[in-house]
Amino acid sequence: MLLEIKDIHVHYGKIAAIKGISASVDQGEIVTLIGANGAGKTTTLKTISGLRSLSRGSIHFDGRDISGMQGHKRVRVGIGQAPEGRGVFPGMTVEENLLMGAYARKDDPSKELAEAYELFPRLAERRRQAGGTMSGGEQQMLAIGRALMAKPKVLLLDEPSMGLAPMLVQQIFTIIQEINRRGTTVLLVEQNAQQALQIAHRAYVLETGRVVKSAPAAELLDDPQVRAAYLGGDLGDAAGAPAEDAPPEDAG
Amino acid sequence: MNLTKNGNGNDGPGGLRAARDRLSLDPLRNAWSTAPGPVRWAVYLLLVIGGLLLPNQAIGEFMAPSGSDWPSMLSNQIAIYVLLALGLNVVVGMAGLLDLGYVAFYAVGGYTMAIFATKYGWSFWESLFLAIAFAGLSGLILGAPTLRLRGDYLAIVTLGFGEIVKRTANNSSYVNGPRGVQGIPHPPTLSEFEIFGVQPLKYGLLDSRPYYYLLLLFIIIAIIFVKRLERSRVGRAWASIREDEDAAELMGVPTFKFKLAAFAIGAAIGGSGGVVFASQQTSINPQNFEFLVSALILAGVVLGGSGNIPGVMLGAAVLAWLPERFRGLSDYRMLIFGAALVLMMIFRPEGLWPSRQRKAELAEGTGGMGSMGAEVAGPGQTVTAEEGK
C-alpha cells in the first residue's frame, strides 16, 4: 500500500466532518472519492496533505506513519496536491507558479518544467502571464502542473472539473489518465462521479463523513444505488456531462 | 478564492478609468527592469545624494514654510516613518500579515535604549544592537502563539499586543509609568569634522541633521537587507504565503516559520527606529507609542503601495509630511487628510506606487490584504456546487 488511512476522524471545532474513514491507495492506481456536498471528500484530502489535523486515526504513506507530520514536510515525502479552487498564486506568472511547485526540492527542476509544458502546451504559451488572469481551465492545468513539479508519488486532486466547460472536463480527465500512465498514483476527489468512475480503478463513496461503499470503479458505474444517487439515476444515460451550465468566462 | 476576475469594485466610470491608466507606472517599470547595471547604480547614487541634500534650506522653504524647522521635521517625523514603514512592509506587504500593533516594536526599541542607557550606562551603539535583538525577540514572542490565526483575527490580536506594551510601560514604576524615562543620552559624537556647515557625526541637542543622516543610513541598510530577502527563497516563500497560504504549505513552504521570520525582521527594523527616536528626544513616555502611530504607518504602507519598497517609502513620507505642512489649517487638516485617504482608496486602491505583482493580486481579489482573510466562495464556486448533484 502506498497510502493508507485508517479510521480517521477530523473535527472543525466541535463538528465532526469525518467520522472514521478508512481507505487505501495502491502504487499506480487511480482511486476516486465520490459523494455529495459535505460528505467529507475535501476534508479527507486536506487531512492527507496535512492542512487539517487528525483528531483520531492514522495515515501511513510509503511505509511511514505521517499522522503527525506537518503539511510542508509531506510534500518532501511525496504527497502532491492541487487544492480545491485551484489555489493558483494570482500575482505570480505561470512559470513562477510552476517553480513554486518545486520549492521543496533542492535540485534543478528544469526537466519537470519542460515536462509540465509538454503536458500542458497551453501553459507554455502563457509562461509570462499572471496566474490570476487566466481562465478557470488554464488555472486548473496550472494547479495540476504545479503539483507535479515536486515529483510526487501520489497526486491528490480536489475537484479538477469544478466550474469547467464540458470539453475542458474531458481534456482534464484525459490528462489525469496520462499522468497516471507515466507512473504517478492519483487520488481523485470528484462530484462529477460519472467521469471520475470512468477513469478510476477503484472508488469510495462517501456520505456525511463515512465510507458507505467501496468497490472497483466499473462495478459502481453499474450499481443501481450509486446510479440513483450520483449518476442521474435511470432517467437518461446521457447524463455524461453534467457541467453544461458552466459560466462562459470559465471556458478554455 | 474567486475563479472569475473580481474587478467590479475597482473599476470606476470610463473617464476616471482612462485618467487612472494615464497614471500607470508601467512604462517606468519596464524601463527600469531593462536598464543596464551601471544606469541602475547611477540612479541609486543620485538617490543617496538626493537624500543627503534633503535637509537643505532651499528645499525646506517649500516643504516647511510656516517656520517649523525642516531638518527636525525630517528626522523626527519623515525619516522615522519611512524606516518604520519599511519594517512594517516586510510583515504586511511581503508576507501579507495584517499587523495593527506595529508601534509595540518601536516602543520596545525605544524603551530598551532608554533602560539600558540610563540604568546600566550602556553606550548608544551597544544599546542599539540589544534593542534590535529585543524587538526581534518580541516579534517572535508575539508571533509564536498568534500566527496560527489569519487575516482579521491576527489583526485584532496584534492590535491588542500594541496596547499591552503601551499599558505595561504606563503602569510599570520601573520605567516611571506615564512620566516616562528622561535623560537618555545622545549618541556619542564620532567626529567633529564639518562639511557644508554641518557636522554630520556630532550628535547634540541643537542640530537635527546628524540624526537624519543616521536614520538615512538605517534606511539604506534596511532597503538593501529587505531587497535581498525579497529576491531570495525567503521572499518567494513570503509571496506565496501572501497570495495563498494553504497552497504555499502544499508547495512545501514551512509557512509558520516564514511568517514568524517576517514578524521578527519587521519588528527588528521597527526597534531600530525606536532607538534613534529615544536618543534624539532624550526622553520617552508611553504617549509616544499610541495606536495612532501604528495606524499611520499602516496607512503609509497601503497608500504608497504595499509590497513595493519605493512605494511604501513615498507613502510614509507623504503621510508624515502632509499634516505638518498644512499645520496652518489647524483642525481642518485631519479632515482633509482623511478625505484624501478615502479618495485615494477609491481611485487608486493598489496605492500610489504598487508593484506589478501586487496589482495582479488585487485584481484577483485575493492575497493578503486584498481579501483580509474572509474566504467567501466566488460566483464560479456556487455554480459548480449545484451542478454535481
| pLDDT for residue B372 is more than 70 | no
B65 CB burial (10 A radius; 0-12, 13-18, 19+)? exposed
Among residues B311, B301, B291, B324, the alpha carbon closest in space to that of B356 is found at: B311
**Residue of B30, B230, B250 for testing the chain A interface, max A β-carbons within 10 Å:** B250
Instruction: Give yes or no for residue B380 having a pLDDT over 70.
Output: no
Lowest mean pLDDT among A198-212, B324-338, B345-359: B324-338
Phi, psi dihedral angles at A17 (to 5 degrees): -90, -35
Query: How many domains is chain B partitioned into structurally?
Result: 1
Q: Which residues form the domain of B120?
A: 73-291
Q: Which residue of B has its CA nearest to A104?
A: B252
Domain boundaries, chain A: 3-235
Q: What angle do CA A157, A158, A162 make, to 5 degrees?
A: 115
Structural class in CATH, domain A3-235: alpha beta
The answer to whether the Cβ–Cβ distance between B247 and A163 falls below 8 Å is: no
Would you say residue B343 lies in a domain? no
Q: How confident is the model over A36-95, as pLDDT tens digits?
A: 888 889 999 999 999 988 999 999 999 899 998 999 999 999 999 998 888 899 989 999
In a domain, B41, yes or no: no
A190 forms bridges with which residues in the sheet? Answer: A34
Indicate the average pLDDT of chain B. Answer: 80
pLDDT class for A234, splitting at 50, 70, 90?
low
pLDDT confidence tier of residue B349, bands split at 50, 70 and 90? confident
Q: CB distance A163–B380 less than 8 Å?
A: yes
Per-residue pLDDT, B2: 38
- For A:82-101, CB contacts with B below 8 A are 83, 85-92, 100-101
Q: Is B304 a domain residue?
A: no
User: Does B66 fall in a domain?
Assistant: no
Domain membership flag for residue B386: no
**How many CB pairs below 8 Å do chains A and B form together?**
139
The contact set of B with A (CB < 8 A) is 1, 3-5, 233, 236-237, 239-240, 243-244, 246-255, 357-361, 363-364, 366-367, 379-381, 383-385, 387-389
pTM: 0.83
Tell me, what's the pLDDT at B7?
Answer: 39
Identity of the residue in B251, B360, B381 whose CB atom sits nearest the CB atom of A100 = B251
Is the model more confident about B134 or about B371? B134
Residue B378 lies inside a defined structural domain of this protein: no
For residue range B266-288, what is the model confidence (pLDDT) as tens digits?
999 999 999 999 988 888 989 88
B387–A247 CB contact, under 8 Å? no
pLDDT(B4) > 50: no
Looking at residues B88-117, what average pLDDT do you find?
A: 92
* Residues in chain A within 8 Å Cβ distance of B387: 191, 242-246
- Smallest CA–CA distance, residue B389 to chain A, in Å, is 7
Residues of B in contact with A90 (CB under 8 A): 243-244, 360-361, 363-364, 366-367
